[in-house]
């Protein structure tokens, strides 16, 4: 049989990857198995999966209970449609479970296969919500710069990272991007939001969509008063407030949903990733009773929106088992506790290093910023490729993590599985510390 690396080059177009790099260097690693926080590749290298793969393997790798749940459901009913009001028990039970876990007043769920579909659905549902109330001009969607919401049509457009628009453009006229409160103040971010709404006219704006903590933007945790202030503005101007909980949902930030950290209740919430810990694709949108009531009263014909896999029975059965594990093993509390350990470790790394700027974490999602001068936050020259070098140094030390270099920032992102123990957290910190010291030496900067 041909070498897997050669076959990969010939036949596999990788998502969000450089095709040139793949052709030159081959796949970065071909992963064969996973167990807990660890994954192993074809060369028997074992890595700490320090971003839970794509911020999604919340319960860790190798949980046979989920395989059994899928097996059991597939034997009984692998797939059945939910179109035209056909229904089945796994989707009904999962919708009820998600309603129970969601903030107060969010009780009805539309299912999808992932985050992009969920955000596209949220955009379409919010436009439909206004249209059926005789406000068809309320169509524009506001989101944040550096926000990441996916790669389908609407979700590409709400994503605030312009590189994602280069491939095929985006529908500029109906999508607006406002300042993020990163390295800025709540006041400045709120004023720019308010001026945008005033300028565009609230009558033209359907919804604002926001990640409680921006993930792909570089783990940007908002200032404490920001999200409530945004929610107040949305209420004042009659704009729907949608939380993109695709990363933050299901325990990641030390609460079941990210918005709970700021006690802000959205009008709708999108989710994916952690709902099944990535064992099978699944996502959705939970909407408020108010939106649901408007739909019940006024959306009289067929709702012309649905995916073949909306409410997939096997995915729903896996999600139910995954949520059961999150609850039974108190993984939300563990995320909060281990998040504190992670942050303590980051702070120690900062103390010992001369290239670490801000460090932050909320639950088990955190970041370390690399800067030329931590006292002024002066950025490294992009030519130096400091993030890539550090990610490589981490890889060599058996840590898979993720770097963000957008807008001159050099950010290392971490989001290990929620099952991580204190000992494993210590091990992760020690490897990160070692990798950063190595890079410091390489570029000729170090504290001593
Ligand atoms: C916050 C957020 N929203 C949406 C998405 C898109 O999800 P998916 O890749 O499942 O389509 C992502 C993916 O990383 C995400 O981080």
pLDDT in tens, 261-313: 999 999 999 999 999 999 999 999 999 999 999 999 999 899 999 999 999 99
Confidence of residue 365 (pLDDT cuts 50, 70, 90): very high
What is the best residue among 53, 111, 116 to mutate for testing ligand 1's pocket, by most ligand atoms within 8 Å of CB? 116
- Residue 166 has what pLDDT? 81
The answer to whether residue 168 scores a pLDDT higher than 80 is: no
**Ligand 1 contact, 247 CB (< 6 A):** yes
- What average pLDDT score do residues 123-127 get? 96
- Residue 62 has what pLDDT? 98
- Residue 162 has what pLDDT? 85
Residue % of the chain over a pLDDT of 90: 92
What CATH class is the domain 36-59+330-443?
Answer: alpha beta
Q: Which residue's CA is minimally distant from atom 8 of ligand 1?
A: 115
Ligand 1 atom with minimal separation from the 119 CA: 4
What is the best residue among 58, 119, 150 to mutate for testing ligand 1's pocket, by most ligand atoms within 8 Å of CB? 150
**Ligand 1 contact, 216 CB (< 6 A):** yes
Q: Which residue's CA is minimally distant from atom 3 of ligand 1?
A: 149
- What average pLDDT score do residues 124-151 get? 96
Helix or strand run (H / E) with residue 41: strand 38-41
- What average pLDDT score do residues 398-416 get? 95
- Residue 2 has what pLDDT? 67
Q: Which residue's CA is minimally distant from atom 2 of ligand 1?
A: 149
Q: Name 164's bridge partners.
A: none
What is the best residue among 269, 272, 406, 413 to mutate for testing ligand 1's pocket, by most ligand atoms within 8 Å of CB? 272
Output the six-digit token pair for 238: 């009659």
3-state secondary structure of 318: helix
Sign of the dihedral through C-alpha 103, 159, 356, 334:
positive
**Ligand 1 contact, 211 CB (< 6 A):** yes
**Ligand 1 contact, 425 CB (< 6 A):** no
The answer to whether residue 85 scores a pLDDT higher than 60 is: yes
Please give the sequence-ordered ranges of beta strands (E in DSSP) within 268-373, or none if there are none.
268-271, 283-288, 356-361, 366-370
Q: How far is the CA of 59 from the centre of ligand 1 (A)?
A: 18
CATH of domain 64-328: 3.40.640.10
- Residue 171 has what pLDDT? 67
* Spatial separation of the C-alpha atoms in residues 348 and 346, rounded to whole Å: 5
Residue 50 near residue 428, CB atoms below 8 Å: yes
The answer to whether residue 173 scores a pLDDT higher than 80 is: no
- Residue 251 has what pLDDT? 98
- Residue 183 has what pLDDT? 87
Q: Cα–Cα distances in Å, from 441 out to 49, 305, 394, 448?
A: 25, 55, 15, 10
Q: How far is the CA of 205 from the centre of ligand 1 (A)?
A: 23
**Ligand 1 contact, 246 CB (< 6 A):** yes
**Ligand 1 contact, 120 CB (< 6 A):** no
Q: State the Cα torsion 160-121-286-192 to the nearest 10°.
A: 30
State pTM to two decimals. Answer: 0.97
Ligand 1 atom with minimal separation from the 150 CA: 6
What is the best residue among 52, 273, 283, 285 to mutate for testing ligand 1's pocket, by most ligand atoms within 8 Å of CB? 273
Give per-residue pLDDT as tens, 209-265: 999 999 999 999 999 999 999 999 999 999 999 999 999 999 999 999 999 999 999
- Residue 447 has what pLDDT? 67
Average pLDDT taken over every residue of the chain: 96
**Ligand 1 contact, 365 CB (< 6 A):** no
What is the best residue among 115, 123, 212, 365 to mutate for testing ligand 1's pocket, by most ligand atoms within 8 Å of CB? 115
Same fold for the pair 36-59+330-443 and 64-328: no
Q: What is the 3-state secondary structure (H, E, C) of the chain?
A: CCCHHHHHHHHCCCCCCCHHHHHHHCCCCCEEEEEECEEEECCCCEEEECCHHHHCCCCCECCHHHHHHHHHHHHHHCCCCCHHHCCCHHHHHHHHHHHHHCCCCEEEEEEECCHHHHHHHHHHHHHHHHHCCCCCCCCEEEEECCCCCCCCHHHHHHCCCCHHHHCCCCCHHHEEEECCCCCCCHHHHHHHHHHHHHHHCHHHEEEEEECCCECCCCCECCCCCHHHHHHHHHHHHCCEEEEECCCCCCCCCCCCCHHHHHCCCCCEEEECHHHCCCCCCCEEEEEEHHHHHHHHHHCCCCCCCCCCCCCCHHHHHHHHHHHHHHHHCCHHHHHHHHHHHHHHHHHHHHHHCCCEEEEEECCCCEEEEECCECCCCECCCHHHCHHHHHHHHHHHCCEECEEECHHHCCEEEECCCCCCCHHHHHHHHHHHHHHHHHHHHHHCCCCC
Residue 286 near residue 94, CB atoms below 8 Å: no
Give per-residue pLDDT as tens, 88-118: 999 999 999 999 999 999 999 999 999 999 9
**Ligand 1 contact, 164 CB (< 6 A):** no
Please give the sequence-ordered ranges of beta strands (E in DSSP) within 362-410, or none if there are none.
366-370, 399-400, 402-404
Confidence of residue 407 (pLDDT cuts 50, 70, 90): confident
Residue 80 near residue 88, CB atoms below 8 Å: yes
What are the residue boundaries of the structural domains of the chain, listed by start? 36-59+330-443, 64-328
Q: How far is the CA of 260 from the centre of ligand 1 (A)?
A: 20
- The per-type count for the chain, helices as H runs and strands as E runs, is 15, 15
Q: How far is the CA of 56 from the centre of ligand 1 (A)?
A: 10
Give per-residue pLDDT as tens, 37-54: 999 999 999 999 999 999
**Ligand 1 contact, 119 CB (< 6 A):** yes
The answer to whether residue 448 scores a pLDDT higher than 70 is: no
Ligand 1 atom with minimal separation from the 281 CA: 10
């Amino acid at each position: 049989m041909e070498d897997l690396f050669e076959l990969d080059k010939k036949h596999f177009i990788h998502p969000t990857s450089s095709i040139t790099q793949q052709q030159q260097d081959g796949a970065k690693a071909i992963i064969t198995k996973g167990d807990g926080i660890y994954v192993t590749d074809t060369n028997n290298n074992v890595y700490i999966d320090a971003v839970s793969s794509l911020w999604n393997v919340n319960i860790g790798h190798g949980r046979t209970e989920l395989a059994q749940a899928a097996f059991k459901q597939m034997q009984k009913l692998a797939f059945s449609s939910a179109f035209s009001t056909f229904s089945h028990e796994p989707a009904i039970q999962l919708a009820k479970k998600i309603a129970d876990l969601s903030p107060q007043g969010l009780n009805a769920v539309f299912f999808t296969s992932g985050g992009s579909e969920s955000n596209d659905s949220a955009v379409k549902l919010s436009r439909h919500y206004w249209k059926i109330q005789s406000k068809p001009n309320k169509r524009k969607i506001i989101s944040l710069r550096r926000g990441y919401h996916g790669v389908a049509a609407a979700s590409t457009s709400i994503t605030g990272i312009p590189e994602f628009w280069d491939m095929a453009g985006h529908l500029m006229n109906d999508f607006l991007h406002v300042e993020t409160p990163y390295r800025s103040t709540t006041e400045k971010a709120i004023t720019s939001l308010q001026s945008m709404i005033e300028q565009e006219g609230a009558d033209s704006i359907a919804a604002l969509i926001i990640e409680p903590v921006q993930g792909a933007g570089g783990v940007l945790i908002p200032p404490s008063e920001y999200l409530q202030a945004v929610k107040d503005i949305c209420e004042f101007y009659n704009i729907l407030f949608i939380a993109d909980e695709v990363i933050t949902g299901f325990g990641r930030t030390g609460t079941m949903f990210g918005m709970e950290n700021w006690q802000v209740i959205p009008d709708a919430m999108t989710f994916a990733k952690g709902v099944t810990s990535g064992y099978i694709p699944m996502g959705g949108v939970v909407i408020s009773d108010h939106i649901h009531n408007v739909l019940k009263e006024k959306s009289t014909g067929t709702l012309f929106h649905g995916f073949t896999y909306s409410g997939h029975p096997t995915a729903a059965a896996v999600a139910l088992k995954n949520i059961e594990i999150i609850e039974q093993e108190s993984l939300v509390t563990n995320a909060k506790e281990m998040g504190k350990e992670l942050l303590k470790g980051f702070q120690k790394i900062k103390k010992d290093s001369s290239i670490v700027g801000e460090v932050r974490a909320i639950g088990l999602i955190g970041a370390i910023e690399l800067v030329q001068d931590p006292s002024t936050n002066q950025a490294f020259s992009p030519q130096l490729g400091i993030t890539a070098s550090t990610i490589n140094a981490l890889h060599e030390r058996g840590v898979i993590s993720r770097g963000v270099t957008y807008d001159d920032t050099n950010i290392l992102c971490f989001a290990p599985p929620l099952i991580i123990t204190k000992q494993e957290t210590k091990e992760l910190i020690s490897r990160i510390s070692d990798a950063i010291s190595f890079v410091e030496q390489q570029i000729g900067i170090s504290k001593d």
